[in-house]
Amino acid sequence: MLNQYPHHPHQAKPLVLSVQDAVFPVHPFSGVLAIGRERDWQLNAMFPALGLDAEGAPAGDVRISYRQARESLLQARHLGGADLGILSGARKSLPQLGAMATGMLAQETLYKAMEFGLEYQLIAGAMVQLVLEPGAQFSALSARPLFDDVELQDFLDADHLATAINASRALCGRNPGGRLQLERVELRGNRQASRSVGEDFFACPVIYGADVSRIIVRNSVLDTLLQEPDPELAVATKQVCDTELATVGLSGKQSLLHKLVSLQCDSRSVQELAQALGISPRSLHRLLAREGCSYFQIAESLRMERARHYLRHTSMSLDEIAGQLQYSDSRSFRRAFKRASQLSPSEFRKQALLSA
């Protein structure tokens, strides 16, 4: 990591995808815009950065920053309710993904197509990081935040996972009798959402209040053969996508949050993280401030995610969990957990057992 980001007096920060970078195209908003047109929302006022015309259609080549998009999406979620993420993602189709869609269609299996799509998801304006996590019998498509944004994260998770399923269904549906069968969907928070809306769309059980938003699918489903594999087209499209990433300045970029999570910031000091990034602690604090977050917030959020996992899936005592998470004692852990979750660890564990 030190070689990747060498310290240099003229390089005060590593390459990161910032909340201020105007790199997000129209596609992430297409579902919300379609719903807004149907419901007569004042889209021009709601999405000023998109430069919408009188019919609510944006300029095709416009790109805006996460910071510009955030307030617009918060307004839309307020008007559309807790189910807007799924309803929005359900409106997005494979052809809208452009060259990325061509590359996915050219792959041999659904798994390879998903791998290709995830490699180039930033081209389509992904505002969360979708990750495919293989297992022995089942795999998980998980949504990881690009930016530290508690208010919008549940909406973005649902929207992006629904978009991925729509694209995957289109890939499978090109085969006679092709069908994408999911095992279950787990979504963070958002207990106000309608379970029936989620289960109608995903066609499987949907669990709300999970540690991480993810879709569980059998590996045999991911092995589904696609109808028209074309290795030459796959290679050519990969080159096109690489060029497009470079053109919009996204080659090799990750968000600062993603970098810090990958460096296990919840168990490392600011000085250690800064050294790993090849910058000074002062520069790291400046980067965090620019992104609207803090080291403590990110580290504490990761600890709470791990804490919920331990409480939900293990029989570890509170003293053992506190030790694993590097709290001084179980009392400090209980205070931190209640501050983050509005429930004590014991109350959370009891609630998780009742809903299992």
pLDDT tens sequence across 52-85:
988 778 876 889 999 999 999 999 999 999 999 9
**Residue 36 and residue 58: Cα distance in Å, rounded?**
13
Q: Is residue 8 very low, low, confident or very high in pLDDT (cuts 50, 70, 90)? A: very low
- The three-state secondary structure class of 159 is helix
Beta carbons within 8 Å of 236's beta carbon, 6+ residues apart: none
How many other C-beta atoms are found inside a 10 Å radius of the C-beta of residue 228? 10
Strands 184-188 and 206-210, by their bridges, are: parallel
What's the pLDDT score for residue 191? 65
82 in Cβ contact with 201 (< 8 Å): no
Does 13 score more than 70 pLDDT?
Answer: no
Give the residue, 217 or 352, on which the prediction is more confident. Answer: 217
* Phi, psi angles (nearest 5°) of residue 125: 85, 30
pLDDT in tens, 132-188: 999 999 999 999 999 999 899 999 999 999 999 999 999 987 555 557 899 999 998
Element (H, E) at 140: strand 138-145
Residue pair 261/144 in contact (Cβ under 8 Å)? The answer is: yes
H or E stretch covering 188: strand 184-188
The whole-model pTM stands at: 0.86
Q: Are strands 138-145 and 128-133 parallel, antiparallel or unpaired?
A: antiparallel
Position 92 scores a pLDDT of: 92
pLDDT tens sequence across 186-209: 998 766 778 889 999 999 999 888
Residue 341 above 70 pLDDT? yes
How much is the average pLDDT of 233-243? Answer: 96
Handedness of CA 73, 75, 76, 77 (dihedral sign): positive
Structural domains in the chain, sorted by start: 81-247 (no CATH), 295-355 (1.10.10.60)
On average, the pLDDT of the chain sits at 88
Task: For residue 82, give both structure tokens.
Answer: 């807790």
pLDDT at 12 over 70: no
Average pLDDT of the residues in 265-275: 88
Distance CA 21, CA 250 (A): 10
Q: Which two tokens stand for residue 185?
A: 């969907």
